[in-house]
Every structure is written in C-alpha cells, then in structure tokens.
Amino acid sequence: MKSPGEFMEILAAYDLTRSYRDAAKICGVSHNTVRSYVKARDAGAQAPIARKRGRITDPFLPQMQSLVEQSRGKIRGDVVHEKLVALGYAGSIRTTRYVLSGLKSKYRAQNARVHRPWSVEAGRWLQWDYGDGPVVDGVKTVLFVAWLAYSRFRIVIALRDKTMPSVFAALDRSFRLIGGVPTYVLTDNEKTVTIEHIAGVPVRNPQIVAFARHYSTAVHTCMPADPASKGGVENAVKIAKADLVPKETNLRPEYGSFAELEAACEAFMEDVNSSVHRATLEIPKDMLRHLEQPKLHPVPAVPVTASFGQARQVPPNTPMVTFEHSRYSVPHTLMGQRVWVRGTDTQVIIVHVGQTGPVEVARHKITRPGVPAVIDAHFPPASAGALERVTRPTNKAEEEFLALGAGAALWLKEAAAAGTNKIRHKMERAVTLAKVVGNDVVDQGLGAAAVHHRFTHEDLVSIITNTATGEPSSIINNTRHAVTDQSQWLSQGTSGWANFGTNNPTTTPGNESAPTDITDLEGAAE
C-alpha cells in the first residue's frame, strides 16, 4: 500500500504525461497501479487498498504456535504436518514447513539466551571439566582439563578414571602447577561433587566438602545440563581433544603407553600457555606469573591423602608393597618412600605424593597371595647374574688371552660350559700362537672353534691352517653347522693373511724367509 505522498506523486506524474506507462516509469511502479489510482480519483472514490491474501494454514496457526512453544522450538515439520492433517488440513507439507520455519525463528528470537560478558577478578575462579581421552593399551582414558578464568591458563592431565581419588589428585596437581589455590572452583554436577538436587538446590558430596575445607576454597556447580555457564573450560576441552586424541584431522599416531599420553599433555600445556591468547592479547603463563599468582591462596604443604587408600612403606631393597596379602610392584625409584594403595573390584591403584602432588604410579590387576604382580618397567635393567657370567681376568695369563678379542671370550665360555680339560694350558698355547700369526687370526679361529664346539689345540691349528689356504676344513665339515662365510664369523676378517700357507707366500721386506706352514710357525715359536 502506498503512502499519501506516493499517491499524490503518482497522480501528478499522470497529469504531466497523460500516460499510464510513462507515469509508472517516473514513479517506479506498475502501470496498473497508476490506472487504478486515476480511475478511483475520477470516480470520486478513495485510493484502492491492497488486499491481504490469507494462507491455507491460517485456521491452524494457533495449533502450530502451541506445538512450537511446547517443544521449545525443536519440533520437526513432518510431525506438525501429520498433526494438522488429522485436524483436517488439506495443504502440502511444503507450506507447513515454510510457515513452521517462520514460527520457530520468531520463537528463538523471543527466547534467545543473552550472554553477558564475564568480568572476573584475578585469582577468583578456576573451572574444571572432563573429556574423552584416547585409548591406551586397550583402555579408554580421561582428560582432566582446568582453566583459569582471568589469565586463560589451561591445564590438561591424563587420568585413567574419574573416581574421587583421581579427581583429588588432579586438582591438587593443578593447584601446584599454577602456584596457588583460587577462591572458587566451578564444575559440572558429577556424583563426586553433587549427590542430588532437592528443590533445585545441589547437595554436596561430603568428601568434596572436606577437600574444599582442606584447600580453603569453595566448590560451585553450574546448572544441570547447562554447559554454557562454564563455556571457558568447555572450549578448552574441545581444543585439547582435537589436539591430543588421535584422529585423521591431526594425524597423531596411537599412544604406545600411558607415559606417552602424559608427555603429550605436558607438551600441549607448554604450547598453548606460551602463545598469545586471542581474547587478552597476552601470554597466559606471563599473566599467571605477574598478575594472578599474587592473588592466589597458598597451597597446603600436605595434600589430601585420606581417599588415596592405605599407606605403605616401600622396602629399601625391593620395589614391592603388600596389599591384602598380595604383593604389587612400584617403580624402583620409590624404594624407601611412602605410597598409598587402594583397591577396586578388579584393580589395585598405587599413588605417590611428591613435590608436584599426588601421582598415580602403578595400576595392577588383582592377584592372589603368593603370585606377585610385577611390571618389568618398574625394575632397572637386570645385571649379570649366575646364568650370565661376565669375563673378568684375574691374572696376567687370563688378561693376555681375553685381549685377543671377542672370539677368545666366546671360546672360554663355551669350553668351560663343555667341561673341557686343561683350559689354561690351551689358553697359553693360543696366546703363543697369536704372537706368531697375529691376534686377529687366532681370535677368528677361536670364535669358529667355539661355535662348532672344537676345543683341542689341534682343532684351532686346523681351522687357522685351512682358513689360510682357502681349503675347507675337515673339522668344520664334519659338523652340522659349517661356517665358511667370513661375514658370519665373530671377529673381523684377516685379508692380510689370505695367502698364508700357500706355495707362493707374500713376503715382506726384511722377512724373506718367513715360515709357510702352521707347524713351522709353532716350531719357530717354541
């Protein structure tokens, strides 16, 4: 419908041009509009009013509005159409969806939640929440995420579960990482925090109340099913999961152990807390150190340990603790220190309280008495014992023999294991032989003799002789495992002795009359 001013402009344009189409071009309207206005003036009637056409859904509009309000703007178009058809609606589902979309948009605009910016003071609020962590060793883990509202400092700690001791340990570690305790902490209504709601009032878990009293802080919870009330930590959880959980989008490989996941969390915290935050345009760790830490309360020197289980003292000589008549291993670095042990239906969890706070150091499946639960990584590398002797010379003769090389040491071990007679005498003869033909040749022969269990001196001489002449040794060929490839021998090759024992030996200056046979060498040595 045109305004009175537009109406007068249209009539003036027609009086000027005396043409419906020319007046329409001047006023930017349809020539039919100009005709209707002129005819109404000539007939002495008022300007025509545009008729408003109704929709086929108009009779059912109250029912549609009621459905939108009852569903809080969530109802689907096909559901509404089905209900309208039952009431006699004859229109198409396309018309129903079009009208419903407008009603839902209007409802959302009228009921939109208005978020007011949160102006928080330094040292006042810390929020924490959980995220689904990656699967490590076939077990799903949990990411504990804490967020300081003022400095935007983020903490990510890998947990194996969300039980009360694990949560207490993560909170204590968070307080020690930021260097203090905030006035308030905010989280969801987990059973570890809120037991139930009565008339909308949350009933706190007595253990979390004792925890808050110990650290001089107050625990608050957001409204049920309302994550927007702690949107800061919700966003931190989303970012941590996107970076730490292996996905095709981040190309992160699977974690081989829980320690690798913990290391990844440490690297993630260092990265995000050392980068400029887009909201504050400051580095979070710098804001924490200079602005927020002075406002935090001191962290108690002794953390809460009541929920960690029973105290146990690790013996000073073995990293094992006893729990319910069964023994469980702990890292050997904790020998002589105190740990706390608790059990579940299927597992035993061991916690140690160090400088950084409580840390879970071991988790075992429950075992029966007499069968200790041992994790190999808890023990240092095994030293040489009765089954693996280390050769240590005790006199000059032994030192000279072992100085020949690895083949000599192998020969000594194998000969001793076989109960060979006169080992010392054979060692002396091998040393004497080495002074003539060289240590490498004798060491190579001793290694081959040890592999094929040939422990007489004649065997050693035969191996060296046939190696020098290039002919296969009858001693070696009589065994099932003949070693003729020098690359498989224990000591390095002796290419300089390749022509030893042949009819045309290579002579060296000043030694033209060198002996050409092992027998001659032995005679020369004697």
Which residues make Cβ contacts (< 8 Å) with residue 497, sequence separation at least 6? 437, 438, 441, 468
The matching CATH number, chosen from 3.30.70.2860, 3.40.50.720, 3.30.420.10, 2.30.40.10, for 125-295 is: 3.30.420.10
**pLDDT, tens digit, for every residue of 306-326?**
778 888 999 999 999 999 999
**pLDDT, tens digit, for every residue of 192-203?**
899 999 998 999
- Determine the Cα–Cα distance for residues 27 and 22; give it in Å rounded to an integer: 9
Which residues make Cβ contacts (< 8 Å) with residue 103, sequence separation at least 6? 64, 65, 68
Report the range of poorest mean pLDDT among 204-218, 416-430, 451-465, 512-526. Answer: 512-526
* Residue % of the chain over a pLDDT of 90: 53
**pLDDT, tens digit, for every residue of 38-64?**
888 888 877 776 666 788 999 999 999
Q: pTM higher than 0.85, yes or no?
A: no
Whether the pLDDT of residue 237 is over 60: the answer is yes
Nearest CA to 150 among 191, 193, 182? 182
Q: Where are the beta strands (DSSP E) in 174-274?
A: 184-187, 194-198, 201-204, 218-221
Q: Please compute the mean of the pLDDT values over residues 442-459 and round it to a whole number.
A: 90
**pLDDT, tens digit, for every residue of 150-161?**
999 999 999 999
- Determine the Cα–Cα distance for residues 255 and 135; give it in Å rounded to an integer: 8
According to the model, what pLDDT value does residue 65 have?
94
137's tokens: 């060793």
Confidence of residue 142 (pLDDT cuts 50, 70, 90): very high
According to the model, what pLDDT value does residue 6 have?
80
According to the model, what pLDDT value does residue 78 have?
94
Contact present, 210 and 304 (Cβ < 8 Å):
yes
516's tokens: 């050409």
Which residues make Cβ contacts (< 8 Å) with residue 173, sequence separation at least 6? 157, 356, 357, 358, 359
Number of C-alpha atoms within 13 angstroms, CB side, residue 126? 30
What would the DSSP string read from start to end of 107-165?
Answer: HHHHSPPPPPP----TTTEEEEEEEEEEEETTEEEEEEEEEETTT--EEEEEES---HH
Q: Please compute the mean of the pLDDT values over residues 126-138 and round it to a whole number.
A: 93
Whether the pLDDT of residue 520 is over 50: the answer is no
Collapsing DSSP to helix, strand or coil, 508 comes out as: strand
